Amino acid sequence: MIKGVYIHIPFCHQICHYCDFNKVFFKNQPVDAYIETLGLEMKMFVERNRDQLHIETIFLGGGTPTALSATQLQRLFVLIKQYIPQDFLQEFTTEANPDELTHDKLVVMKNNGINRLSIGVQSFNEDILSRLGRTHSNQHVYKTIQMAKDIGFTNISIDLMYGLPGQTMEQWKDTLEKALELDLLHYSAYSLIVEPKTVFYNLMTKGKLILPGEDLEADMYEVLMNEMESKGINQYEISNFAKPDFHSKHNNLYWDNVSYAGFGAGAHGYANGIRYANIGPIKKYMDAIESGDFPVNSTHEVTANERMEEEMFLGLRKVSGVNKHHFEEKFGVSMEEVYGQALSKHISRGSIVIKSDTVALTRKGRFIGNEIFQSFLME
């Protein structure tokens, strides 16, 4: 069953220096026509896959969904409501920039069923924000979150980043302190990964990007886990923390390796055993749909071995880990038969633990997650 929907809005008023997602500057783009094209893609997909749909989550990402005007957002929500069955919908999230969330936009979102906000804060140090290419200030964050609460939003998450250029431990601790003072239900915190085709990558190749070393980055991660735990914000995934019952349902679909639909230029999806990626360039994406074609750029039929690999390296991201009985029911073979050697190695190193019928990373293992995940990839 297809349980999730991801909708990509590829427009930004400012391009962040670390971002490698499919995006373009908002100015002079066919934004209104793109929204209508999104509707056509949703219509085509739903008509073909209606019997497979049990939609529990919708996620608007980008780019920046809040780059759209209130009027444009309203039109987008009309199309979503028209084409996406919502009988089983539990969570409807949008990403947002603090300096773009106006009162009018928040009201439109609330009136159209958005019940979770994911706000890109990244840091409470304004020098670092400038270095990242962010345009908001701390005051934007405080004002926006209070405005959202006043309108009736309760499920609010913010994104933070560490391991940033020139970032010190003191700056990271100050960001965490200010973030936790907001007393939100959910926090995501990611270490910087320098990706190709970004401003940071270009600076790095020229030797002009000074990053904290691996040891300091690991210390920042440990401080993150300790501070969240001290405030009752439970870690449920390598980079995500929440109060009880407020895990991201949409992201859990990814980690549980569940099928989801992806709509929009450059969006990715996983349906009927096939992972697919849409055409990235906006005009080519729109032209494909207007010609009556699905705007798919590439597809990959996931093999049985790959499904097992994904079950392990996605599931191990969760603190709760991977259930051995579920694995055997799903694939007809025990986890030990396939991964006994890798499991033994990591158990002996203290990076994986087996509790009852569940395999999970230990706290030590969370520091070297990527290394562990590699060991579950079959030749």
Dihedral of CA atoms 50, 250, 133, 109 in degrees, nearest 10, equals 70
Residue 337 and residue 231 share a domain: no
Residue 242 and residue 137 share a domain: yes
Average pLDDT taken over every residue of the chain: 96
What DSSP string describes 32-56? HHHHHHHHHHHHHHHHHHGGGEEEE
Phi, psi of 225, rounded to the nearest 5 degrees: -65, -40
CATH number at 10 reads: 3.80.30.20
Residue 247 and residue 343 share a domain: no
Phi, psi of 359, rounded to the nearest 5 degrees: -105, 125
Which pLDDT score, from 0 to 100, does residue 48 have?
94
Segment 256-273 shows an average pLDDT of: 96
- Per-residue pLDDT reduced to its tens digit, 15-70: 898 888 888 888 889 999 999 999 999 999 999 999 999 999 999 999 999 999 99
- Per-residue pLDDT reduced to its tens digit, 230-262: 999 999 999 999 999 999 999 999 999 999 999
Which pLDDT score, from 0 to 100, does residue 219 have?
98
Residue 85 and residue 232 share a domain: yes
Nearest to 172 by CA among 185, 157, 156, 190: 190
- Per-residue pLDDT reduced to its tens digit, 191-237: 999 999 899 999 999 989 989 999 999 999 999 999 999 999 999 99
CA distance 55 to 86: 6
User: Which runs of E-coded beta strand occur in 51-145?
Assistant: 53-62, 91-96, 116-122
241 C-beta neighbours (distance < 10 Å), count: 27
What DSSP string describes 90-105? -EEEEEE-TTT--HHH
Residue 316 and residue 236 share a domain: no
Residue 353 and residue 246 share a domain: no
CB proximity list for 240: less than 8 A, separation 6 or greater: 186, 187, 188, 189, 247, 248, 251
Which pLDDT score, from 0 to 100, does residue 356 have?
85
Tokens for 221?
Answer: 């991660």
Cα angle 274-278-283, degrees, rounded to a multiple of 5: 165
How many domains would you assign to the chain? 2
Range of the domain at 9: 2-255
Residue 321 and residue 241 share a domain: no
- Per-residue pLDDT reduced to its tens digit, 315-330: 999 999 999 999 999 9
Q: Would you say residue 55 lies in a domain? A: yes
Given 190, 221, 255, which residue is the final one in a domain?
Answer: 255
What is the band of 105 on the pLDDT scale with cuts at 50, 70, 90?
A: very high
Given 222, 238, 255, which residue is the final one in a domain?
Answer: 255
Q: Would you say residue 151 lies in a domain? A: yes
Statement: residue 378 has pLDDT above 80: no
Q: Would you say residue 353 lies in a domain? A: yes
Q: Would you say residue 159 lies in a domain? A: yes
Q: Would you say residue 6 lies in a domain? A: yes
Segment 266-272 shows an average pLDDT of: 96
Which pLDDT score, from 0 to 100, does residue 355 have?
86
Q: Would you say residue 285 lies in a domain? A: no
Q: Would you say residue 263 lies in a domain? A: no
Residue 136 and residue 22 share a domain: yes
What is the band of 14 on the pLDDT scale with cuts at 50, 70, 90?
A: confident
Statement: residue 13 has pLDDT above 90: no
Whether the CA torsion 90, 92, 98, 103 is positive or negative: it is negative
CATH number at 337 reads: 1.10.10.10
Residue 251 and residue 309 share a domain: no
Q: How many residues does the chain have?
A: 379
Which pLDDT score, from 0 to 100, does residue 22 have?
82
Q: Would you say residue 225 lies in a domain? A: yes
Residue 312 and residue 234 share a domain: no
152 and 114 in contact (C-beta within 8 Å)?
A: no
CB proximity list for 109: less than 8 A, separation 6 or greater: 73, 77, 94, 117
Statement: residue 11 has pLDDT above 80: yes
The enclosing H or E element of 321 equals none
Residue 146 and residue 210 share a domain: yes
Segment 141-154 shows an average pLDDT of: 98
CB proximity list for 99: less than 8 A, separation 6 or greater: 135, 136, 137, 140, 144
Nearest to 163 by CA among 109, 218, 228, 222: 218
Segment 299-310 shows an average pLDDT of: 96
What is the band of 379 on the pLDDT scale with cuts at 50, 70, 90?
A: low
Q: b/e string for 144-162 if b means 16 or more Cβ within 10 A?
A: bbeebeeeebebbbbbbbb
Residue 353 and residue 230 share a domain: no
Segment 175-179 shows an average pLDDT of: 98
Is the peptide bond preceding residue 369 cis, with omega within 30 degrees of 0?
Answer: no
